[in-house]
Structure 1
Amino acid sequence: MYQQQFQLEDILSNVFKGNFLELNELVYLQSIDAISFLCKQKAKVKLNQLTSVLCKICHNMIKKDDYQQNQIFKLNCQCCFFCHHACLREQILQNKDKFESLEKVEQLLNECIQCDQGCASNLVNIQMIRQALSTKEVQMYQFEYFEAQQQKEKKYQQILELEKQNQVIEFQCAICLEEIDLNQNGYILKCGCKFCRSCLKDSIQNSLKENINLELENIFCPNGDCKKVLDFDDITFILQEDKEMIEKLEQKNIKSMFERMKRENPNSMEELIVCPGKYKIQKGSEKVIYIPKEQIEKQRQGSANIPLEDNEIIVDCNFTFIQDRSEKKLRHKCTKCKYEFCLNNCDSTHDGFSCENYQKWKMENNKDYRKELEAQGFKFCPNCSILTQRTGGCNRIICTNCKISYCYLCYFSAKTESEVYGHLNKVHGGYFTNA
């Protein structure tokens, strides 16, 4: 009836501006008709609102297709609120820089999305977050969050370090009794004692001179009232310019760690490996000059010597590391000298040969081979001849190849551990004796 909205507005405006009793019959009828039409329109809009559902986040109507395509979430509320899948995802991504955990994101979302009817329930839960994001996205946002936190912490520490460097902190060295600026020439040990670096270096070097075997547990804090064992990191920091000593101490530290680990867990699969490779250095230089593997093997077989330039010397690598036998890895390339060898205590790789056959071949082709290895502390399994080295602990050995037990001192072997232990007690007077 009313083709344009302004026609209805004009009629109703004229009616309410004038005196309703003075209206002529035509205007009166038009006004009654307009009011009736307006009421019907209002009622229709109200009915549509009552029968429709709005998204709690974007406040747009949720369509029937959204239900059918599972593009909505029913929020965790007694008031039956819903939201679009895409709206919840967008709300989550607005908080991705705070993605410490799913619980934290859940808390942030529930602070933003609340029931306006006074319901105290959290409308969003972790399950909805997992459905809105893929597992890969959750991991990525958490990784980015922790990376950002680490960068913030790093910057904060840098600021603190700069402030510390600009601050003069004086203390009295407990050795020379001089007043020292901590930031310029002082050092605080892990035990808390403070010394000037030159005094601390002299003290550590003197301890090492008296400590021929480089036993780290025999290097103590110079403070007579403290005398705690020095932390390994403290020692290496103070002696950082003496690279040769640092290398020896690092190797000793690895052996100490291995022995302690074996004492605490005798059945562990870790084994101490010593690299059998060699390398060259020039006198007065610490730079490693790699030797081709073929030259090392020819020298071992006695068929050729390793060529040397003027001022060059050959050094046994002896780089020590701990290998986990559960990894079932057989080949290893040394990180120091780049020599590749078999981890079953073979001095080389031996493609096409078992460890047992390789050891037999070596002994048949080099009469002094067995004596040389035994002089270095190696033993040959009495059952399969595999090479074994004991670095410490009990004299009962388990062969890594055939798994029999045998005595490290006299090669007595047995199928059970208890027989070997009995032999050690009866013949050698204990498990840890040296003869």
Structure 2
Amino acid sequence: MDAENLRYFEKAPVAKAVAHFAVPMMLGTSLSVIYSILNAYFLGTLHNTAMLTALALTLPLFAIIMALGTMIGMGSGTFISRLLGENKYDDVKQVSSFAFYSSLVLGLIVMAVGLPLIDPIIYGLGATHDSFGFTKDYVMIMLIGSPIVVLFFTLENIVRSEGAAITSMIGMILSVVVNIILDSFVIFVFHWDVIGVASATVISNLVAIAFYAFHIGYKSQFLTVSVKWFKASKEILSNVFKIGVPVFIMSIFLGAMSLILNRFLIEYGDPAVAAYGISSRLLQFPEFILMGLCEGVVPLIAFSFTANTLRMKQTIGFTIKMIVALAIVFGIVVYLISDHLIGLFTNDPQLIEMGSYILHVTFLSLFITGMTTLFTGIFQATAQGTAAFIMSVIQGVTLIPVLYIANWMNGFHGVIWSLVIADAVAFLVGAIMLYVLRNKLQPDLDRLVQ
């Protein structure tokens, strides 16, 4: 961490510090969504609904693989930021080395376990006869590339945790640009359809890993990937997994929720699944921008928690104002041009109508989703493992019974509205926990400031 990054942690005005940490993350995550959207767009040019259905069905699997990287990356990253606030630099090297090698091992385990079970996985994802082959192609490539995908998400988090937000963003942008270029080749030149899109994702992540490894090896003052610093002590395991496991569980629940939603939507035909796949990708754009804002400030909150709690509170307050402003702007845009947005991916009138309806409903909870992400980030940054765990499961625990009831009462419309209800419950639970923990921790925070 150089003097410039340290200045943003400690002394820069709050708005400027938030911009330094959050804007690169927002740009990186938004571009990641753009390439996800472009994956659907490129496949959409082939006018094959089964391919789009396969792309939607594989979202839960990708969410699980990504969750493993985020588990190690977020758990290690928040610990690294707190250690930097305490000037424990040798410990930072040990944590970063642990993050690198544990990610590789987890990815290899996924590949070794998943490939022999690939057919049951395809059936479990809910593939129909028409989409089975395309779904299997995508799943096979993602399982083979899982060590790469896991490591990519880990490195992105730990690079950002030392204050190198712009470097983290460049790696994400590099991955997106390479993915877009490869997508155009595999679809229009080599005609590899789904298997080509999946391969492009893995290769683009590998390119970004090389970039991050170069930064850590030659430019970072404290991070390392050297095996000689690897240490799996009780302290490291406890601090990494105390925050990382709730993050993983949250991602698993999101993947499970996507899987369950697909199982409900398939009752209403492939067009319903395809429409949800398109609209959910469009919704990801504003959601990931808000996520980039909230996750981007986590290192700043974590550092301030051990160094300056007044600055931590100011950071949280400014971030809430930004969530409100962004949610309003995105909501207005979507309600004005939703039909045109869906029409970019398909010319099927039924898909356009269903996708537009899904967008209108799910955008109602955009602000709530942003606030829920911020609550989770605060709990992660301040090492509140129990609260982070509750946030990781509350949405999924709520959604499952709501889905069954809403589907029984109101069919397709009930399935879509259940998402908003689950988001609202998660928001209320997070707000209550934040208020309780704020009062409970106040004496300790005052002691840390003194």
Higher relative contact order (CA 8 A, sep 6+): 2
Q: TM-score range by the shorter chain?
A: under 0.3
TM (norm. structure 2) is 0.20
Q: Which has the larger radius of gyration?
A: 1
Structure showing the higher strand proportion among its residues: 1
